[in-house]
Amino acid sequence: MASRPGDKHPALLALTSSALLLPAYQGVRADAPPEFTEIGLRYSKYEEDDTQGSKTFGGSSQRYDIDAAQFHLLAPVADNWAVAVDVQWEDMSGASPWFVGESLDGSPKVIMSGASIEDTRTEVSVTTRYYYDRGNAGFNYVRSKEDDYDSDAIALDGSVNSADGMTTYSGAISASSDDIEPTQGSVPTNTIKADKDIRSAWVGVSRIVSKNAIVRFGLSYTYRDGFLTDPYKLYDQRPDERKEWAVSTGYRQYFFWPNGALHADYRYFDDDWGIASHTLDLAWHQNLGNDTQLIPFLRYYSQDEADFFANIANTDQRYYSEDYRLSAFGAVSGGLRLRHTIGNWAITAVGERYETDESWGVYSGEESPALVDYWRYSFGLDYIFK
Amino acid sequence: MKQLICLCVVLCLCGCETVQPWERGTLAKREMQWQADAMEISLQAQINASKEASSGGQGAAGGGCGCN
Amino acid sequence: MQRWALWCLLAVLAVPAVAGVQAGQQAPALSLPSLSSASPAQLSLASLQGKVVYLDFWASWCGPCRVSFPQLEQLRQELAPQGFEILAVNVDEFEADAREFLEEIPVTYPVVRDGTGATPAAWGILGMPTGYLIDRQGVVRLVHQGYRKSDGTALRASIIELLGE
C-alpha cells in the first residue's frame, strides 16, 4: 500500500504498492522463456527530509523513513513455461502530515502527526508465463498485507509478435480488491471498515526502428471504486469513483562509439478528479568494459491539482482534501545506478534524490506546505544459475 | 491533438526497413531492454505512485494502492 | 493523409513472403571461413557430402544457443562415428563476440562464420537460432526453429533415423 500520511496507526503507510503489471519479456525476446534460473535481492532505504520549519506548526518535524527488502526469483519450467516469485517487506516509521491550518500570518502550515509510528508490510507476487513461438501469456496474483490493509489482485497479460518479428502487440487486464480497516483509538477516522476495487486495462505496441533502436506506445485505463478517501486525515472527503487514463511512449537507442544506450520515456496522465500530469524519464546506460554499467538518470514530473484540493479545506463542499499529493507541483529527481558483474553474480547500487516545488510544474495551483523531498538508496545482489 | 498522436504512432511504426533476425544482436543487449532491472523499476514506480497522484502507463495497474 | 496512413499500417502488418530453404529441397552450396582453429581455413557443405549434417545458424547474443551448444556437442560426440557432423554458422556482426562465446562454451565441431548477412539471407532464416538437418544425399529434411531444453531428444531421434537410411 502506498505511503500515506497517517497517525499512530501506520496502515496504508507502506512505500511499495502491489507490483505494476509488466510482461516479463517484451520486444526481441517475447517468444522464449529464460534459459537459466535467476534470483535477486535488494535492500533499500528511503528517507524523507524533515519538514520546513517555516511551513510546520511546532517547527520542523522529522518525516518518514522506510527500510525495504525485495526478493526476486525467475525460473524456467519445462520447455515453455516460466515462474516468477517476488516478495517485498517494508518496515516504516516516522511522522506524516495530519492536516493543514492557517497560521497567524495567513500562510498555510502543516500539522504533523505526533509520535513516531512503526508498521510492517509484506507482499507476495507470483506469475506464471507460457511461451509459444510467436509470443507469451502470463497470469499474476499478488497478495499484500499490513496491520490495517489487505489487498488481493490478479492480472492477465499477453504479447504477440508480428510474423516478421518487427512488432510486438501486448495487452493486460487486472483487478484488485482492497480491504481497509483503520486502526481506531488515537485519531478520529473517516471510516471503521471499508473497501475498494480497482480495474485496469492496458494495450501497447513495441516496434523495432533499426538495428539500434526500438520504440513503444501504450494506453491504459484504470477505474477505482469504493472508499478512496484517506481515513486518517482530518479533512478529507474524496469521490467514491475515479477514472484514469494514461498514454505513454518510450524509446531506446544504442550508440556504438560511446558504447551506451539512451532511454527516454514519457507519460501523460489524466483523470476525472481534475488531475493531469506529465512525466519524462531519461537515462543513459554507459558500459564500462564488459562487466560494469553506470547509469545516470533524471526524471521530471509535473501534476495539476485535484478539483477539490485546497490547503485549508472547505468542509461545506461535497469533496475536499488537503493532501499534498493532490496539489499542483513539479518534481525533479535523479541519481545514479551502478551494476558490476563477477562471474554469475551481479552487484548493484543506486542513489536517488527527489525534490518537489510548486513552481517547477507547468500547472499552477496552491502550494502545499507539506511537499516532500527524499533520498533513496538501494543495494542489490543477483545470481544466475548457469 | 488526437490526429497528431495517430500520425506519430503511424510514422514510427512505418517506413522502417525490416531488421533481419540475424541483425538483432544489438537489440538483445541488456541496456536495450525496456526494463533491465525489474526490482528497481518496480520500487521506483511504487514510490512515485504513492507520493504523486499519477500511476501506471506501462502496464495495467496492480493491486491495492493505499494512495487514494 | 488518412489513406496514406492506412497503406502504411497495412504495410507494417502485412506478412512478408519469404522464400527460404524448406524441408525437401536440396541444400544450397555453402563455403565459409572457419572460426575453429583445428580445422582447414575454409569449410564447405560439399566436403561433408555422405554424412548426416546439422547446419546450425547461431549468434553470441542468442539465448537459446547457450542451451543448444552443449546438447549438440553431446550429440556429435555420440553419433559422429556413425557419420553425423555438425556445421555451425556464426552470424555475429563482430567476430570477437563469437570467439568470446566459444571460449565460454567450447565445442569440438567445426564453426564457420559469415558476418555480412548474405548466407542467412540466402537460406531465409526467420529466427535465431535456426538449424537444418541435411541427409546423406544433401537434401534438407528438417528445419528447426529456436531451441528449447528438450529439443535434443527429438533431434537425436531424427538424426538416428537419417543415419539409418
Q: Does the CB of C125 have a partner CB in chain A at under 8 Å?
A: no
Among A35, A163, A166, select the one facing C67 at the smallest CB separation. A35
Mark yes or no for CB contact B65/A18 under 8 Å: yes
Confidence of residue B66 (pLDDT cuts 50, 70, 90): very low
| The three-state (H, E, C) secondary structure of chain A, written as one string | CCCCCCCCCCCCCCCCCCCCCCCCCCHHHCCCCCCCEEEEEEEEEEEECCCCHHHECCCCCCCEEEEEEEEEEEEEECCCEEEEEEEEEEEEEECCEEEEEECCCCCEEEEECCCCEEEEEEEEEEEEEEEECCEEEEEEEEEEEECCEEEEEEEEEEEEECCCCCEEEEEEEEEEEEEECCCCCCCCCCCCCEEEEEEEEEEEEEEEEECCEEEEEEEEEEEEEECCCCCCCCCEECCCEEEEEEEEEEEEEEECCCCEEEEEEEEEEEECCCCEEEEEEEEEEEEECCCEEEEEEEEEEEECCCCCECCCCCCCCCCEECCHHHCCEEEEEEEEEEEEEECCEEEEEEEEEEEEEHHHCCCCCCCCCCCCCEEEEEEEEEEEEC
Cβ atoms of C38 and C106 closer than 8 Å: no
Mean pLDDT value across residues A263-276 = 97
| Residue A118: predicted pLDDT | 76
Interface predicted TM-score (ipTM) over 0.95 = no
Residues 6 or more apart whose Cβ sits within 8 Å of residue C165: C135, C136
Would the pLDDT of A156 be above 90? yes
The structural architecture, per CATH, of the domain A27-385 is Beta Barrel (2.40)
Q: To probe the interface with A, which of B2, B22, B42, B58 has the most A CB atoms within 10 Å?
A: B58
Q: Do C16 and A80 touch (CB under 8 A)?
A: no
Are A72 and A39 in contact by the 8 Å Cβ rule? The answer is: yes
C150/A164 touch (CB, cutoff 8 Å), yes or no: no
Taking an 8 Å cut-off on Cβ atoms, the answer to whether C150 and A79 are in contact is yes
Domains of chain C, by residue range, sit at 21-163
Other CB atoms closer than 10 Å to residue C16's CB: what's the count? 10
The answer to whether C16 contacts chain A (CB < 8 Å) is: yes
Assign a CATH topology to domain C21-163: Glutaredoxin (3.40.30)
Across the interface, which of B26, B31, B64 has its CB nearest the CB of A144? B64
For residue B22, give the nearest of C9, C63, C128 by CB distance.
C128
pLDDT, residue A137, reads: 95
Q: What is the pLDDT along chain C (165 residues), one digit of tens a residue?
A: 566 656 655 655 554 555 789 999 999 999 999 987 666 788 999 999 999 999 999 999 999 999 999 999 999 999 999 999 999 999 999 999 999 999 999 999 999 999 999 999 999 998 889 999 999 999 999 999 999 999 999 999 999 999 998
Break chain A into its structural domains and give their ranges.
27-385
